[in-house]
A and B are shown apart, each in its own frame.
Chain A
Amino acid sequence: MTEALISIHNLSKTYRRGNQPVPVLLGIDLQIAQGDYVSLMGPSGSGKSTLLNLIAGIDKPSGGTLLIGGVDIAALEEDELAAWRAGNVGFVFQFYNLMPVLDAFENVELPLLLTHLSKAERREHVEMALAMVGLPDRMDHRPNELSGGQQQRVAIARALVTDPTLIVADEPTGDLDRKSADDVLDLLDRLNRELGKTIVMVTHDPRCAARARTRIHLEKGVLLSRGAEH
């Protein structure tokens, strides 16, 4: 692990509730190396999800700098940012967020609809991604025909199908039973170790956090500690 993929300096975020400014992140400094596997931990309202959203490029910081792969994503126009996300970030959500009307194949294919890949190339990528998460035989199943664990694996396939550098996961095991959660965590491990994906994961489950190489604790918008690699 050498150069920093994510370079955060004095990052702050303030929301407005009515006329009341609500500070959520206060001057965060953080470097995340390429290929790292980071868990963001902290109590509710600590700002961990906000930090994740900023890193993922779906929210804009109020101050400070946020460089990802050398790109100042806070300075990007909305459409540029959307294109940047499509090419660089894979998302894993707590509730999987699959499109209910699309089957597993089509859900995984979604991010590829924004690329110039041909139909045949898309099929190849999707099949590879679904094989990677161990669901090559569930391609034509709709989300409601899959278990929670299977749905989350489809979501992970969707996150990796564009081969992004960064995968962000927001409580990826929060809605799963223990067995399924372990499967999902094993999968994230493999993405990190075998494919070299940089993973940033928000969790409040210590077992989950223990899988990460780096553990970061946030409280009241401030970085508390940075746990060592285990």
Chain B
Amino acid sequence: MKKGLSLSYVARNLVARKLTTILTAAGMALVVFVFATVLMMAEGLRHTLGGTGSYNNVVVIRQGSQTEVQSTLTREQARLIETLPGLATGAHGEPRISREMLVLVNLPRKNSTSLANVIVRGTTPTGLEMRPQARIVQGRAFRAGSSEIVVGSGMARGSFGLRVGDRIAFGLRQWNVVGVFDAGGSGFDSEIWGDGEQLMQAFRRQAYSSLIVGLRDSGSFEALAEAVARQPQLKVDIKRETQFYADQSENLANFIGVLGKTITIVFSIGAIIGAMITMYASVANRTREIGTLRALGFRRGNIVWAFLQEAMLLGLAAGLSGLVAAAFMQLVEISTTNLQTFSEVVFSLILTPQIALDVLLFSVFMGVLGGALPAFRASRLEIVDALRSV
């Protein structure tokens, strides 16, 4: 058994100073809340975009273009790709390929005058089949050859609030919303889908933006990549669909992460100073108590440890309260522009066990930083002087 002051003694000293403890912990909890929210935001974004697409689908885009919107592929290129090995085939032996066309369309946000860039994806029946995670949850799918569109669940909720029966204008046409699809919180939920050929006509496009290619099996990606590399006239980049979207989330997630951590660090300095003031006050109020403990035979180390524990406990309490508050942020859905694709992405905040752990450690660490100097001061007191204090 370890010799020293009990944790209950430490804890009770915190409880004895209820108001100070609560106020200090509240300040620290706010910082924890901000920190947790930022991490949850980055995680939510990664989850949304990283969870988009299938491992067995390959996205083909023009070489050097980072996004589908920037990319153009000619009909010749598309035909050439269809001849490559390693592709999955449909019921009649035709390769499973969806020729897709993407445009960014300005749509007004609800209750606001600002416009957002929304991805409108012209796709094909094959394209829908290749994305089984996108299920129609309201209305029905668009009909080929019509001006019908379906909207992702992210577009149906929140800042856009598109509904079945709405008519929206873009590309010099009116489009009827006939359905809402849900793609499990992935990036597709922030898109609007319609018939590829119709959209190409409306936007007077001759070329596709991307090809979505089904792999025969998950191992045939390398073979396809090699085959693409052997065709010098095919200047394209290929990526697995999952990787393609995960890469698109990296910049924004990192940006949010860096910004958030910077803000958190600045805030945390304030919180640490708050904790320090509280702990200094605790030491000052208990000077005679410290002298008594030392006289009874407790060592300087025991005293340092007791005050450090007190500060850590304060940090832990703050961390838990901040975390509980942050957990409610999971109900919030954020709609913002992905700086990488300049298109709107709707995502929710996600609290993972790892984030919870990181945030609690951070909070305890704030406590330690705030408690270190006061704890050290407490232990440096001369016994005789400490006993004399009132």
B6 to chain A, nearest CB (A): 7
The list of the 6 closest CB pairs from A to B, nearest first, reads: A86-B297, A101-B12, A97-B292, A58-B383, A85-B297, A59-B384
Chain B residues close to A by CB (< 8 Å): 1, 3-6, 9, 12-13, 15-16, 288-289, 291-300, 383-384, 387
Contact status B297-A82, CB under 8 Å: yes
- By a CB distance below 8 angstroms, the chain B residues around A59 are 383-384
In the complex, which residues of chain B have a beta carbon less than 8 angstroms from the beta carbon of A82?
294, 297-299
For B289, the closest partner residue in chain A by CB is A99
**B296 CB contacts on chain A under 8 angstroms:** 85-86, 91, 110-111, 114, 158
Q: Cβ of B6: which chain A residues have Cβ within 8 Å of it?
A: 113
- In the complex, whether A177 has a CB less than 8 A from a CB of chain B is no
A3 in contact (CB, < 8 A) = no
Contacts of B384 in A (CB 8 A): 53, 58-59
* Cβ-defined partner of A78 (8 Å) among B16, B293, B300: B300
* Contact assessment for A101 and B16 in the assembled complex, using a CB-CB cutoff below 8 Å: yes
**Chain B residue with the shortest CB-CB distance to A56:** B295
Would you call A101 and B387 a contact (CB within 8 A)?
A: no
Chain B proximity mask over A57-72: 1 for CB below 8 Å, otherwise 0 = 0110000000000000
Is A93 engaged at the interface, CB distance under 8 Å to the other chain? yes
Least CB distance from A180 to B in Å reads 20
User: Least Cβ distance of A120 to chain B in Å?
Assistant: 12
24 A-B residue pairs with Cβ-Cβ distance under 8 Å, sorted by A, are A56-B295, A58-B383, A58-B384, A58-B387, A59-B383, A78-B299, A84-B297, A85-B295, A86-B298, A87-B297, A91-B295, A91-B296, A99-B289, A99-B293, A100-B16, A101-B9, A101-B12, A102-B12, A113-B4, A113-B5, A114-B3, A114-B4, A115-B3, A158-B296
Q: Which of A93, A116, A118 contacts B387 (CB 8 A)?
A: A93
Most buried by A among B1, B12, B288, B295: B295
Which A residues touch B16, using CB under 8 A? Answer: 100-101
Asked if A194 CB lies within 8 Å of chain B CBs, one says no
A93 to B294, CA, bound (A): 14
Q: Is A137 an interface residue (CB 8 A)?
A: no
Distance A212 CA – B176 CA, assembled complex (angstroms): 104
What chain A residues lie within 8 Å of B295 (beta carbons)? Answer: 56, 58, 85, 91
Which residue on chain B has the smallest CB distance to residue A101? B12
CB distance from B35 to the nearest CB of A (A): 31
For the complex, give the distance between the alpha carbons of A115 and B298 in Å: 11
| A58 B297 Cβ-Cβ under 8 A | no
The DSSP consensus for interface residues of chain B is helix
Q: In the complex, what residue of chain B is closest to A117 when comparing beta carbons?
A: B1
Once the chains are docked, how many angstroms separate the CA of A82 from the CA of B236? 77
A224 on the B face (CB < 8 A):
no
Q: Does A36 contact B (CB under 8 A)?
A: no
A-chain residues with CB within 8 Å of residue B3 when the two chains form the complex:
113-116
Query: Residue on A with the closest CB to B292?
Result: A97
Min C-beta distance of B294 to chain A, whole Å: 7
The residues of A with any CB-CB pair to B shorter than 8 Å are 53, 56, 58-59, 78-79, 82-87, 91, 93, 95, 97, 99-102, 106, 110-111, 113-116, 118, 158
CA distance A53 to B295 in the complex (A): 10
CB-CB under 8 A from A111, the residues of chain B are: 296-297
> How distant is the Cα of A54 from the Cα of B29 in the complex, in angstroms?
47
* CB < 8 Å neighbour of A102 from B9, B15, B297, B383: B9
Q: Of B291, B292, B297, B387, which is within 8 A of A114 by CB?
A: B297
Q: Which residue of A lies closest to B15 (CB)?
A: A101
Please determine whether A106 and B9 come into contact, CB atoms closer than 8 angstroms. yes
CA gap between A167 and B1 in the complex, in Å: 28
A79 vs B296: C-alpha distance when bound (angstroms): 12
Chain B residues near A87: list those with CB within 8 A. Answer: 297
Counting chain A CB atoms within 10 Å of each CB, the highest count among B15, B16, B291, B298 belongs to B298
A99 in contact with B294 given A58-B384, A82-B299, A114-B3 (CB within 8 Å): no
The minimal Cβ–Cβ distance linking B279 to chain A, given in whole angstroms, is 16
Q: Most chain-B Cβ atoms within 10 A of its Cβ — which of A78, A113, A115? A: A113
* Given A53-B384, A97-B289, A101-B9: 19 more A-B contacts, CB < 8 Å: A58-B294, A79-B299, A82-B299, A85-B295, A86-B296, A91-B292, A91-B296, A93-B387, A95-B288, A97-B288, A100-B289, A101-B15, A106-B9, A114-B297, A114-B298, A115-B3, A116-B1, A116-B3, A158-B296
Instruction: Determine if B9 and A99 form an interchain contact, defined as CB atoms under 8 angstroms apart.
Output: yes
Closest to B300 in A: A78
Q: Who on chain B is nearest to A100 by CB? A: B16
Instruction: Determine which of B4, B13, B297 lies in contact with A101 in the assembled complex, contact meaning CB atoms within 8 Å.
Output: B13
Chain A residue nearest in CB terms to B299: A82
Could you say which residues of chain A place their CB within 8 Å of the CB of B15?
Answer: 101
Q: Which listed residue, B13, B288, B291, B293, touches A110 by the CB 8 Å rule? A: B293
Chain B residue nearest in CB terms to A106 = B9
Point out the residues of chain A lying under 8 angstroms from B387, CB to CB. 58, 93, 97
Please give me the residue from chain B that is nearest to A88 by CB atom: B297
Chain B nearest CB: distance from A203 CB in Å?
Answer: 17
In the complex, what distance in Å separates the CA atom of A87 from the CA atom of B3?
14
**Which residues of B sit under 8 angstroms from A118, Cβ to Cβ?**
1
- Least Cβ–Cβ distance between B130 and chain A, in angstroms: 66
Residues in B whose Cβ lies below 8 Å from that of A95: 288
In whole angstroms, what is the CA distance A114 to B304 when docked?
A: 16
Give complex CA distance A83, B298 in Å.
Answer: 8
With both beta carbons as reference points, the residue of chain B lying nearest to A110 in the complex is identified as B296
Chain B residue nearest to A84 (CB atoms) is B297
Please give, as numbers and ranges, the residues of chain B lying within 8 Å of A114 by CB-CB distance.
Answer: 3-4, 296-298
